[in-house]
Each structure stands twice: as structure tokens, then as C-alpha cells.
Amino acid sequence: MARPVDVAALVDGIAAGRRADVSRAITLVESSLPAHRDAARELLAILTPRAGGAVRVGVSGVPGVGKSTFIESLGTMLTGQGQQVGVLAVDPSSVRTGGSVLGDKTRMAQLAADPAAYIRPSPSAGTLGGVARATTQAMIVLEAAGYDVVLVETVGVGQSEVTVAGMVDTFLFLTLARTGDQLQGIKKGILEIADVIAVNKADGDREVEAKGAARELAGALRLVHGKGEWAPPVLTCAGLTGHGVDEVWARVLAHGEHLGTEGLAHKRAVQQHEFTWALVRDELDQRLRRSPGVARVRDEVRRAVLAGDIAAPEAADRIVAAYDEG
Ligand SMILES: Nc1nc2c(ncn2[C@@H]2O[C@H](COP(=O)(O)OP(=O)(O)OP(=O)(O)O)[C@@H](O)[C@H]2O)c(=O)[nH]1
Ligand SMILES: [Mg+2]
């Protein structure tokens, strides 16, 4: 994209639902080049009022729990019902390694070939905040292009699931049946953000075990959630066979109904406000990295701290002072 970006042409293409323009627009909003950032801002300003029409769902769970396979199954079911489905990925490993989810499209071969579906792997490299920004903005592009459902896959490690929970309406957590304490394998924070839980790979020999695990988990959750609150339903399913996937989707929609129009609008407004501050932090972080003042003192401060000559608070003061001087 070396040529100047024709924002008006992109807007027309997106409005017409042209995939190539959707891809171009998402590449543009992922770009960190200053020239692209201006065009991206202009584009997003036009698209944002046209966005918001999709059901936004996060799909999380430990590596290998079957997220991509589940999305393949669910996505194909939804396109079969005449819906347009977008799939985005937030992959913390791409943040670390600069690579992006490799297996995604092969695990979603059928959906990837489906003209009613659009799959976009995680933007490579950048901070988690940066990846989240790109993903949120890709969601706006997809919604402006008329997509009815946007599924965001994220691996259940570190901060990524909290980040994704902050940009979707409903957060679906996939888990596996384990013997012993079912709650042990699930971090407490997850139970606070999960809206629907499904014990996945409930096929063959594993079905009975999965049902038991689901019952146990549902019981434990009832103790955590108060009366009148949404208690996350715990279901069983198998993404590979498609068994129970429709029921999981029904509960996702039920969660949306529980929120109601006003509740959803409020949730999204709060998310926008939190996103605002995430953008500010991300921008400040980048400025810090680029600051010539910080570059001047960085090595010296590092040496002094490693040698034990100055303590961390004093070192931090020096860096901030150097940043302020520019
Ligand atoms: N038996 C069974 N195997 C499954 C099911 N769903 C997925 N698998 C298998 O589990 C493995 C991982 O599936 P993925 O869909 O790639 O899992 P993922 O959670 O997306 O993995 P990452 O993206 O690497 O975190 C694959 O070998 C799948 O074939 C299921 O419902 N039943
Ligand atoms: Mg996957």
C-alpha cells in the first residue's frame, strides 16, 4: 500500500461488502505507518456510525481445547442459516514472536472457503494493546460491511482473555473434562468474565465424563453468582462433530437477550471508555519507546540499577525526567 489510500473507494467497497476492500481496510487499520494511521482514522470515522450491528462473541480456552474447530462448526452452522460470519484472532504468542496463528485457517478449512465467512488471523507483532486495537477496528470494518456475527478467538493465557472480554458482548469459555476438582484447572478470573461455558470434546468415550464435569462446574458457579444475576450456563459440546454447538449458540443469544438493548448499549459504551484509556496507554507506551530523551539515559540507568548504585524509584524518576525533556 505504497500509494496514497483512497478512503472513499474503500468505504464504497466495504458498503458493497467486497471482500478485497474489507481485507484492504483491515490491513490499513492494522498498519502503524503514520500515513496509514491518518487514513485509518478517516476511514474509521466514517465506518463507526455504520458499525455495531453484529453479535460480538469471544471464544477462549487453553491451547488445544478446540476453539478453532468449534468456530469452524459454529460458523458453518450460522452461514448455513444465511448469516455472514467474521472470525478474528487475538493471539498473545504473535505478540511475543511476531508470527501469527498458523493452524487457524487449516483448522477452519471449510469456513475459510465459505463465501459468507471472513477469517482474519491475528495481526503479527506489536503489544497486546496494539493487537486489541487492530482487532476492535477490524470488527468495525466487518460490521460496516454487513457481517451479522463476529467471533474473536483468543488463547486462554495471560491478559488476552480479559482484553477480548472487553471488546465482545458475550464471552464463551471452552474447557475440558478433567478428573478431580473441575475448578482447579480454571483460573478464578475466567469464571468472572465467562458468560457461557462449554465442556468441549464431549464425544465418544468422553461424553459421560464431560457431562459430569459440566454438572459439577454448574453447581460451583451457582454458589458464586447471586440471585437475579446471570449465572453462566455450563453445557457440553463437541466442535469436531458439531454435537451441542447449536445449544451453545442458543445460550450465547440468550445472554444477549438477558442484557437487553439498553444493557448491551451500556456495556458497549463502558467498553468504549475503557478502550479509550487503553489507546492512550498504548500511545504513551510507544512515545516512551521512541523518545530520544529516554534513549539517551536508558543504558546509563540500566548500568546504575544493575550495579546497585541507584534504586528503582530514583531510576524511574530519571527516565521520566529524560522523557519530559524530550
Ligand atoms: N475428539 C475431539 N477432538 C477435537 C474436538 N475439537 C477439536 N479437537 C481436536 O483438538 C485439537 C486442537 O483443536 P483446535 O481447534 O486447533 O484447538 P484450539 O483451541 O483452536 O487450539 P489453539 O488455537 O492452538 O489454541 C485438534 O487435533 C482437533 O482435531 C472435539 O470436539 N472432539
Ligand atoms: Mg485455534
Beta strands in 221-312 (DSSP E): 234-236
- Closest C-alpha residue for ligand 1 atom 21: 64
205 alpha carbon – ligand 1 mean position (Å): 16
User: What is the amino acid identity at position 77?
Assistant: M
DSSP state of 154: E
Ligand 2 (single-atom ion) residues, CB below 5 Å: 67-68
- Tens-place pLDDT, residues 69-114: 999 999 999 999 999 999 998 877 665 554 444 455 677 999 999 9
Q: Considering every ligand atom shown, identify the ligand nearest to the alpha carbon of residue 66 and give its number.
A: 1
SS3 198: strand
Q: Is the pLDDT of residue 314 over 80?
A: yes
Q: Is the pLDDT of residue 117 over 80?
A: yes
The residues that bridge with 145 in the sheet, in sequence order, are none
pLDDT at 82: 98
Does the beta carbon of 174 sit less than 6 angstroms from any atom of ligand 1? no
Contacts of 175 (CB under 8 A, 6+ apart): 61, 62, 65, 185, 186, 197, 198, 199, 200, 213, 217
- Residue 56: C-alpha distances to residues 12, 50, 51, 151, 171 (Å): 24, 15, 11, 6, 9
The residues that bridge with 248 in the sheet, in sequence order, are none
- Tens-place pLDDT, residues 225-262: 777 788 899 999 999 999 999 999 999 999 999 999 99
- Tens-place pLDDT, residues 267-299: 999 999 998 998 898 889 889 999 999 999 999
Q: What is the mean pLDDT of residues 308-320?
A: 97
The residues that bridge with 234 in the sheet, in sequence order, are 197
Residues, the chain:
326
